[in-house]
Amino acid sequence: MPCEALASSGSRIVATGNFADVRRLAGPDTQMIDLKGGTAIPGLTDTHVHLSEKGTAEMELVDCRDFYVDVHSVADILQRLANAAASAPKGSWIVAHGSPMQDFRIDDHRFPDRHDLDRAVPDNPVSISFGAHVTIGNTPALAAGKISRDTPDPAGGHIKHDPQTGEPTGELHERAQLILRKVAPEFNYLQLKDGIVFALNQCLQRGVTTVHDIVRYAEPVRAYQEIYKEGRMHARVSILPRVIESMIETKSLTDLGLITGFGNEWLRIGGVKMSIDGGITGRNACFHEPYENDEHNHGIIRIQQDELNHTVQVCHDAGLRCCVHAIGDKAFDMALDAYENAIEHSPRKDHRHRIEHMGNWLATPKLIQRMVRSGIVAIPNIAFAYYIGDAILDCVGERRLTKAFPFHTLLKNGVIIAGGSDSPGYWPVDPLRDIATAASRKMRWGEVWIPEERISVSEAFAMHTTTASWVGFEENDKGTLEVGKLADIAVLAEDPFAVAPEKIRELKVEMTLVGGEVKYQA
């Protein structure tokens, strides 16, 4: 229910109502904030980010991502690299990042190769990644990684060679990227901490007051605790430690007796993450049917069913909520098999287990039925549609994607969906963009894509407020502006329910409060 005024005390909301009534509660020391016609909404939640891992990159890497900066061609990329090299010590590494499938969008319709990079930066090793699957090095970088024409492909990776000369082109796929990553300099711990603070502050600029962050090793967890103690943590974080293909083991968590919710209002354990298949942009998501023009490729499975069942069962029994990454329909089936198995062994209603990326592709009626029956939450990421839906169509084929991001169908059938962006490596954390896309289906590439799967503006907001808070086991503290809840508030320049849905992504955030304190002001 809309209201004129709201009062908070401590960190919580103590009154809502008309201006005169709320005004009466103010004492001599009360800070009064006039929204000047702006609209206060509950602070937004992003339920799937890689903030601690990628936040540092935001600060330290040369940015060539076409979603962030003005880059339209190979020449634009080379210019940015040359500029960075001009101020770097001779021989030091230039590490840069572009966007996934950027070759599809830039004028040249290709990535730069080592010779392009050599022309722009001859004396410093250069490594530039485009999304999670492709990294390109110049000649000094390849030399540092000892990559020559005779270097064999590593397991799970590919070194691209020029078919004429047999020389490596500089392009490294999947696990071959690790060769450069191992020789390029790592971020140190202080940079990691500053990167997290920076990335959390960027979240506040888009009205985000809570994120669910996936971590794979100890340092980010330690960094979060220190940042909190140092008073530098201005948005709330639910940590999802990843197990399997990670530095963290399931046993470390269960040995400590950690359960979901451990921590406080600022920093807590939100559950356990694991990944069944690969990503769709690298054609590694695992489908029952093979990829378009690639009849032997079904994608890859990273956790076999036995190990998955066991891990899910152990976490389920220990009181740790599971967040299983599954993108292809084969991986969905495996995730649901594991969940059904665990729930049957130890029935528990309030598990709130999730499937990350479910609701992006191929949500068949049978899968939907299984989700609803077991009460599994779907975490779709509509930013993928907004930014690269057209490129994915091209790569995996229309047949598989005719029902991409079927939010209307999911909600109608009773599937619980909450929004996650998979930011900030690919694109910024920005639920207002994702709400606008879900409600308008207007994509960055111009098309109104599958308009019958539009959802209402309030349904789209729920994915980042009420439902997202429930998914975080925090529905008593967050998600609405009600007496007793935390005063986590975003102030928008205009009423999002009064503008065209696609315009919501352009709404300015004037101010963000967390626990009643102004943490960001435009």
Least Å distance, CB 503 to Zn ion, is 28
Identity of the residue, 422 or 430, whose beta carbon is nearer to Zn ion in the bound complex: 422
303 DSSP assignment: S
Q: Which residues contact 189 (CB under 8 A, 6 or more apart)?
A: 219, 223
Concatenated DSSP letters of 262-273:
-B-SSEEE--EE
Least Å distance, CB 422 to Zn ion, is 4
Residue with tokens 């098999």: 337
Hey, what's the torsion of the CAs at 409, 412, 413, 417, to 10 degrees? Answer: 80
Least Å distance, CB 354 to Zn ion, is 12
Identity of the residue, 333 or 422, whose beta carbon is nearer to Zn ion in the bound complex: 422
Show the tokens assigned to 434: 């994702």
Binding mask 303-322 for Zn ion (x = CB under 5 A): --------------------
In the sheet that 208-215 helps form, which strands lie side by side, from edge to edge?
Answer: 44-49, 208-215, 236-241, 267-269
Q: Is the bond into 168 cis (omega within 30 degrees of 0)?
A: no
Four-residue CA torsion sign, 261, 262, 268, 271: negative
Least Å distance, CB 50 to Zn ion, is 6
According to DSSP H, which parts of 14-97 are helical? 19-23, 51-60, 74-86
Least Å distance, CB 28 to Zn ion, is 49
Indicate the SS3 state at residue 453.
Answer: helix
Least Å distance, CB 425 to Zn ion, is 9
Identity of the residue, 47 or 102, whose beta carbon is nearer to Zn ion in the bound complex: 47
According to DSSP H, which parts of 417-499 are helical? 431-440, 457-462, 466-471
Least Å distance, CB 275 to Zn ion, is 8
Residue 229's CB is within 10 A of a number of other CB atoms, namely 9
Identity of the residue, 383 or 404, whose beta carbon is nearer to Zn ion in the bound complex: 383
Identity of the residue, 206 or 216, whose beta carbon is nearer to Zn ion in the bound complex: 216
Residues 422-451 interacting with Zn ion (rule: CB under 5 A): 422
Residues 406-425 interacting with Zn ion (rule: CB under 5 A): 422
Least Å distance, CB 344 to Zn ion, is 28
Binding mask 333-372 for Zn ion (x = CB under 5 A): ----------------------------------------
Least Å distance, CB 214 to Zn ion, is 6
* Cα–Cα distance measured from residue 234 to residue 231, given in angstroms and rounded to the nearest whole number: 8
Identity of the residue, 331 or 507, whose beta carbon is nearer to Zn ion in the bound complex: 331
Least Å distance, CB 283 to Zn ion, is 17
Concatenated DSSP letters of 318-337:
HT--EEEE--SHHHHHHHHH
Does residue 213 interact with Zn ion by CB under 5 A?
no
Least Å distance, CB 82 to Zn ion, is 32
Residue with tokens 């499938």: 101
* Cα–Cα distance measured from residue 286 to residue 429, given in angstroms and rounded to the nearest whole number: 26
Identity of the residue, 234 or 325, whose beta carbon is nearer to Zn ion in the bound complex: 325
Residue with tokens 């008309």: 18
Q: Which residue is closest to Zn ion by CB?
A: 422
Show the tokens assigned to 119: 């022309």
Measured in degrees and rounded to the nearest 5, phi and psi for residue 128 equal: -130, 130
Identity of the residue, 131 or 496, whose beta carbon is nearer to Zn ion in the bound complex: 131
Q: What are the distances in angstroms from CA 351 to CA 12, 56, 236, 238, 477?
A: 27, 33, 22, 16, 19
Q: Which residues contact 160 (CB under 8 A, 6 or more apart)?
A: 168, 169, 170, 171, 172, 173
Identity of the residue, 144 or 327, whose beta carbon is nearer to Zn ion in the bound complex: 327
For residues 504 and 419, the answer to whether their CB atoms sit within 8 Å is: no
Least Å distance, CB 387 to Zn ion, is 15
Identity of the residue, 51 or 81, whose beta carbon is nearer to Zn ion in the bound complex: 51
Residue 202's CB is within 10 A of a number of other CB atoms, namely 20
Identity of the residue, 117 or 300, whose beta carbon is nearer to Zn ion in the bound complex: 300
Listed residue (34, 46, 43, 419) closest to 207, CA to CA = 43
* Cα–Cα distance measured from residue 380 to residue 237, given in angstroms and rounded to the nearest whole number: 19
Least Å distance, CB 455 to Zn ion, is 22
Number of residues that bind Zn ion (CB under 5 A): 1
Identity of the residue, 281 or 440, whose beta carbon is nearer to Zn ion in the bound complex: 281
Least Å distance, CB 382 to Zn ion, is 14
Identity of the residue, 54 or 352, whose beta carbon is nearer to Zn ion in the bound complex: 54
Bridge partners, residue 95, by sequence: 127
Identity of the residue, 46 or 422, whose beta carbon is nearer to Zn ion in the bound complex: 422
Binding mask 42-81 for Zn ion (x = CB under 5 A): ----------------------------------------
- Residues in contact with Zn ion by CB under 5 A are 422
